[in-house]
Amino acid sequence: MTRAVRIGLLVLGAGFGVVAYRAQINGLGTTVLHVPGPSGTHTVGPFTTSGRSFAVVAVGIAFIAAGAIAWSTRYRNRIAPLMIATGFLWLARQLRYSHNSALFTLFFLFGDLAYAMAGHVALAYPSGRVRDKWELWLVRAGYTSVLLFNFLILLFYDGNVRLHQFDPSKRRSFLLFWANDAVALKIQEIFVAFFYGLLASLFIALIVRRFIQATPRARRLLAPLLLAVAVAALRSVWECIFTFVDRPPSIAYNELFWWQIFGFIAFLIAIVDGLLRARLAHAGVGDLVLELERTPQHRLGETLSRALRDRTLEIAFWVPNRGEYVDAFGRTIVLPTDGIRAVTKLDSDGEPVAALIHDPSLLEDPTLVGAAAAAARLSLENARLHAETRAQLAQVQESRARIVTAADEERRRIERDIHDGAQQRLVALGLQLRSAQRTAGAADDPQLRKLLEGTIAELQVAVDELRELARGVHPAILTEDGLCAALEALATRSPFPIALDVEDERLPEPVEATAYFVACEALANVGKHSSASNVTVEAHRHNGVLTVEIDDDGVGGASAQNGSGLRGLADRVEALGGRLVIDSPDGGGTRIVAEIPCAS
C-alpha cells in the first residue's frame, strides 16, 4: 500500500468519522429527558455527549489507521484489511442512530458486524487466519447472530419502545412485518444475552486457552494483545449483566462506556506494539549481517537465535553423501515432525543447505526467517561444509573404532580356536605319547623310549610356542577377568619386576584391550631396549577417561616414529578417540601415557 493510499484511507476515515459523529450527536441527543411514569417523573439520558461521541469516532479512525500501518508491514493481505473494514463498519454503525428510516434500518441491521469483526481480528491475530475449529465456530456464530437477531428485531420494531443503547425517539423499520415492540425487545434481550454474554464469555475462554497453549516465544508476543481483548470482552459480559438489572445506576453505564472505549484502544495499542516488535525483529536481522562476521561457525545457531528472538532455535546442516541432517559437530539430527517444533528448510540452487528448527510462532512471519536465512546464507554454507567435514570425521572415527573392535573380536576368536583346536589336540597327543612311553618303558625297549622322549620334548616345545602365540593374540584372562588381572598376569611372567597400580574394575572390551596392548608393547620395549631397573604400570579412570601410564628409569629414546610398534598403538588409541603421549628423552627414562575415553 502506497503512502498516498494510506493517507487517502485516513482522510476517508476522517470524513466518515465526521458523518458518524454528527449521526450520533443528532440521533441520540445530548439532552436529558424528563419522562413521566406511574411513580412520578424521572430523568433519562443524556444518551451521548460530545466527548463520548468523539471517543467513539476516534476508535473507528484508530482501527483504520492501525490497519493502514499493518498493511504496510508483514500483515498485508491478511489482518490489515480486516482491521480497516472493522474501522469503517464501526463508524458506519453510528448511522443507525439516525432518524432517517432507511439509514436506521440499514445500519441497525449491519452495524453490529463491527463487534463481530473486531472479535475476528483478535482471533486471527497475528497470522490473519483463524484455524482452530472452536475459534472458527465462534467467528461464524458472531457474524450470524448479529445479522439474524437485528433482522428479527426490525421485523417487529414499531418505534414505541426504547431499544437497548438507543434514546426513546421513535424510529421506523423498513422491514416491519408485525408491529409488536414487546417481541422486538424480547428478541433484543436474547441477542444481548447470547452475543454479549455467551459468545463474549466463550471468546475470553478461547483467548485464555490460546495463551496457555502458546509456545514461550508466541506467549511473549501475544500477551499484551490477548490481555487487551480479554478486558474488552469482559466489558461485554458486564453489559449483558447490567441489561438484565431493572434500573441500572447511571454510573454503571458511564463506566461501561469508557471501559469499552479503553478496551478497544488497548487492543489497538497491543497490535501496534506487535508491529513494532516485528519491525524490531527485522531490524535485528539487519544487524545480523554485521554480527555474523564476528561469529565463529559453531556459534552461528546462537547468533541466529538472538536475531530471531527464539532461544530454542537449532540449525541442522544437510550432508549430501549421508542423506541426512547433522548438527555443527557432525552428529545426526532427525528433523521434528510432531508440530511442537517447526522446521524451515533452506535451499541453495535447489540443493538443501540447512534447516532451522524453531518455535512454530516464527512461521507467522516467514519473511523474518527468510531474511535471517538470506543474511546468514554465506555463513550457513560455510558452516554446512564445516559440519559436513565434522560428520565425515565422525564417520571415519566411528569406522576406526569399529575396525578396532572387529580386530579385537577376531583376535579373541583366533585365541579360542587355537585353545579349543590345535592346543587341545597337541596336549592330548602328548598324554598319549607319555602313556606310550610308560608302556615302552615296561617293555624295556631303550631305543623306543629314547625316540618317545625326543618326540615328547619336541611336542612340549610346540605346545609352549602355541600357547605363547595364543596369549599374544589375545590373552584369555583379559576377556575373562579384565585389565587388572591381565596386567597382573603380565607382571607375573615378566623377567623384570613391575610395580602395578591398577584399579580392579571392568571397562568396555575395546578400552581394556587397547590399554592392555599399550602396556604390553611398552613393557616389551622396556625388556628389549631400556635396561630399566624400576618399572611402574598405572591405570586409573577419571571423568570418563582411562589413563594408562608406563614409567621406567631406563635409557629413554623411545619414539612412535621409529617403527617400535608404538605408532600402531597410537593409531589404535586414537581410533577410540584417545591419545598416546610418549615422553622419552635420551638417558631420562620413558613415560608412555595413553588416555582412552570410556563410558563406564
Residue of 475, 554, 556, 589 interacting with other proteins (CB under 8 A): 475
Q: Which of residues 38-57 bind other proteins (CB under 8 A)?
A: none
C-beta of 109 vs 507, nearer to other proteins: 507
Q: Count of CB atoms within 10 A of residue 76's CB?
A: 13
Residue of 43, 432, 534, 562 interacting with other proteins (CB under 8 A): 432
Residue of 429, 469, 473, 545 interacting with other proteins (CB under 8 A): 429
Residue of 305, 423, 525, 564 interacting with other proteins (CB under 8 A): 423
C-beta of 8 vs 421, nearer to other proteins: 421
Q: Three cell numbers at 170?
A: 421513535
Please report whether residue 419 would count as binding other proteins according to CB under 8 A. Answer: yes
C-beta of 348 vs 424, nearer to other proteins: 424
C-beta of 234 vs 485, nearer to other proteins: 485
Residue with cell 428485531: 153
C-beta of 38 vs 446, nearer to other proteins: 446
Residue of 42, 220, 402, 425 interacting with other proteins (CB under 8 A): 425
Nearest of 436, 470, 428 to residue 453 by alpha carbon? 436
Please report whether residue 205 would count as binding other proteins according to CB under 8 A. Answer: no
**Interatomic CA distance for residues 144 and 136, integer angstroms:** 12
Please report whether residue 480 would count as binding other proteins according to CB under 8 A. Answer: yes
Smallest distance from the beta carbon of 480 to other proteins, in angstroms? 8
Is the CB of residue 232 less than 8 Å from the CB of residue 263?
yes
Burial (CB < 10 A; 0-12, 13-18, 19+), residue 34, is exposed
Smallest distance from the beta carbon of 346 to other proteins, in angstroms? 59
Please report whether residue 486 would count as binding other proteins according to CB under 8 A. Answer: yes
Smallest distance from the beta carbon of 471 to other proteins, in angstroms? 7
Please report whether residue 168 would count as binding other proteins according to CB under 8 A. Answer: no
Is the CB of residue 16 less than 8 Å from the CB of residue 36?
no
Nearest of 334, 310, 312 to residue 322 by alpha carbon? 334
Nearest of 274, 269, 258 to residue 221 by alpha carbon? 274
Handedness of CA 198, 200, 206, 211 (dihedral sign): negative
Please report whether residue 454 would count as binding other proteins according to CB under 8 A. Answer: no
Please report whether residue 457 would count as binding other proteins according to CB under 8 A. Answer: no
Q: How many residues bind other proteins (CB under 8 A)?
A: 33
Burial (CB < 10 A; 0-12, 13-18, 19+), residue 600, is exposed
Residue with cell 484455524: 131
Please report whether residue 472 would count as binding other proteins according to CB under 8 A. Answer: no
Please report whether residue 424 would count as binding other proteins according to CB under 8 A. Answer: yes
Smallest distance from the beta carbon of 500 to other proteins, in angstroms? 12
Cα angle at 128 between 127 and 130, to 5 degrees? 95
Residue of 467, 529, 567, 579 interacting with other proteins (CB under 8 A): 467
**Interatomic CA distance for residues 483 and 426, integer angstroms:** 29
Is the CB of residue 194 less than 8 Å from the CB of residue 149?
yes
C-beta of 212 vs 443, nearer to other proteins: 443
Burial (CB < 10 A; 0-12, 13-18, 19+), residue 554, is buried
**Interatomic CA distance for residues 204 and 232, integer angstroms:** 9
Please report whether residue 449 would count as binding other proteins according to CB under 8 A. Answer: no
**Interatomic CA distance for residues 120 and 591, integer angstroms:** 77
**Interatomic CA distance for residues 139 and 116, integer angstroms:** 7
C-beta of 235 vs 474, nearer to other proteins: 474
User: What is the pairing mode between strands 535-542 and 499-502?
Assistant: parallel
The interface region with other proteins, picked from 28-36, 307-315, 387-395, 430-438 by CB under 8 A, is 430-438
3-state SS class at 494: coil
Please report whether residue 420 would count as binding other proteins according to CB under 8 A. Answer: yes
The interface region with other proteins, picked from 189-197, 299-307, 426-434, 525-533 by CB under 8 A, is 426-434
Smallest distance from the beta carbon of 345 to other proteins, in angstroms? 56
The interface region with other proteins, picked from 47-55, 75-83, 123-131, 427-435 by CB under 8 A, is 427-435
Q: Count of CB atoms within 10 A of residue 5's CB?
A: 12
Residue of 172, 306, 377, 434 interacting with other proteins (CB under 8 A): 434
Q: Three cell numbers at 417?
A: 580356536
Give me the phi and psi of 501, to 5 degrees please: -140, 90
Please report whether residue 155 would count as binding other proteins according to CB under 8 A. Answer: no
Please report whether residue 431 would count as binding other proteins according to CB under 8 A. Answer: yes
Nearest of 97, 94, 96, 144 to residue 116 by alpha carbon? 144
Residue of 19, 427, 500, 555 interacting with other proteins (CB under 8 A): 427
Please report whether residue 413 would count as binding other proteins according to CB under 8 A. Answer: no
Please report whether residue 414 would count as binding other proteins according to CB under 8 A. Answer: no
Give residues in contact with other proteins (CB under 8 A). Answer: 419-420, 423-432, 434-435, 438-439, 442, 460, 463, 467, 470-471, 475-477, 480-481, 485-486, 488-489, 492-493
